[in-house]
Amino acid sequence: MRSMNRWVIATAGVFLQIALGAVYAWSVFRTPLAKQFGWSIPEVTLTFTISIFVLGISAFFGGLWLTRSGPRIVALSGGVLYGLGVFLASFSDHGLWWLYLTYGVIGGIGLGFAYIVPVAVLVKWFPDRRGLITGIAVGGFGAGALITAPVATRLIQTVGVLHTFAYLGIAFLIVTVAGGSFMQNPPDGWKPAGWTPTATQSAQRAKRDYTLREALATWQWWALWFLLFLNTSAGISVISQEAPMFQELAGSADVPGTGARERGCSSGHGWRGQPRQRIRARILGCGFRRDHAESYIFRDVFDSGGALLVLAEHYVRNHPHCGRLHHIAVLRRRIRDHACVRG
């Protein structure tokens, strides 16, 4: 049987990840929801917390299901649940609990099921480029916010926050189902034509596959788990709060999704009126039209390292009289104040 072109599968996997990565744009919805329904910011932010927590739990069971039933059914099920959860969130005028149930629980289950599929499938299709293809797949997830944040902001301004959930839910459903339908494992024993693992590649890989029970008995598994736990915790804490963090650094009290414009970008200056050439924000988004200034330099695209780099650069450049340790301390306080959910 002729196998499918692996680059077609990779492209489908990236589009699937882009749709799923839209969850990183959650901060766009925070303030519009709080203003419209009188909910507090911690109450609204809890939706994102639930979604990410459920994602982690469902990804575990999704991985077991993928091993038994194959990637396509897992990806399609996850895509349907994710799109349905976002769409049903458009009926959140019933109460905050409905937002938790739909976007948080249903959408989170869909995220967990679908997220693991492209990575698991593509490393099998690209044994010769495992690092590259994994980076592309995960990068697609991060790029989801790059696309979704300005689109969602514009929709919130024109049709309202609840209708935005409806439109995005339909779009996510279409993209995830289309991308998920291409997910399949290569035939047993398949490898790229003419490729033979180098001695270095062979030395870096295990001689055999481990079962879950065997993997849990190794210290390497737990070390990797702990490393990913710390990395994800830091990244998610910043991502969920990036919009207000960048607004404060920009010296703006305006809120994305309310029709306000980011004063620094629209006036041709950087943060706090600094000359544009002193800030890299133009490269990251401030060079766009005034209509897109609400993206606040694509706040939801950055992972923890990227966000901290931008924040640190701003402090170092605007506080030359202070020592580096002082900058680090101030930066830590900013992240703590914004990332912690207050009761």
pLDDT in tens, 100-141: 999 999 999 999 999 999 999 999 999 888 889 999 988 999
Mean pLDDT of the chain: 76
SS (H, E, C) the chain: CCCCCHHHHHHHHHHHHHHHHHHHHCHHHHHHHHHHHCCCHHHHHHHHHHHHHHHHHHHHHHHHHHHHHCHHHHHHHHHHHHHHHHHHHHHHHHCHHHHHHHHHHHHHHHHHHHHHHHHHHHHHHCCCCHHHHHHHHHHHHHHHHHHHHHHHHHHHHHHCHHHHHHHHHHHHHHHHHHHHCCCCCCCCCCCCCCCCCCHHHHHHCCCCCCCHHHHHCCHHHHHHHHHHHHHHHHHHHHHCCHHHHHHHHCCCCCCCCCCCCCHHHHCCECHHHCEHHHCCHHHHHHCCCHHHHHHCCCCCCCCHHHHHHHHHHHHHHHCCCCCHHHHHHHHHHHHHHHHCCCC
- More reliable by pLDDT, 245 or 71: 71
286, pLDDT greater than 90: no
Grade residue 230 by pLDDT with cuts at 50, 70 and 90. Answer: confident
Cα angle 295-117-174, degrees, rounded to a multiple of 5: 55
- What pLDDT was estimated at residue 213? 86
Q: Is domain 6-187 classified as CATH 1.20.1250.20?
A: yes
pLDDT for 130: 85
Q: Tell me, what's the pLDDT at 309?
A: 45
Terminal C-alpha separation, the chain: 58
Mean pLDDT of 139-145: 89
Report the alpha-carbon distance of residue 288 to residue 58 in Å, rounded. Answer: 38
The better pLDDT of the pair 284, 75 is held by 75
pLDDT of residue 248: 66
Average the pLDDT over 143-172 and give the result.
Answer: 94
All structural domains of the chain with their residue ranges: 6-187, 239-339
Identify the weakest region by mean pLDDT among 8-17, 49-58, 140-149, 276-285: 276-285
Higher local confidence (pLDDT), 236 or 229: 229
**Residues whose CB falls within 8 Å of the CB of residue 49, separated by 6 or more in sequence, listed in order:** 104, 240, 341
Rounded to two decimals, what is the model's pTM? 0.69
Name the band, by pLDDT with cuts 50, 70 and 90, for residue 189.
confident
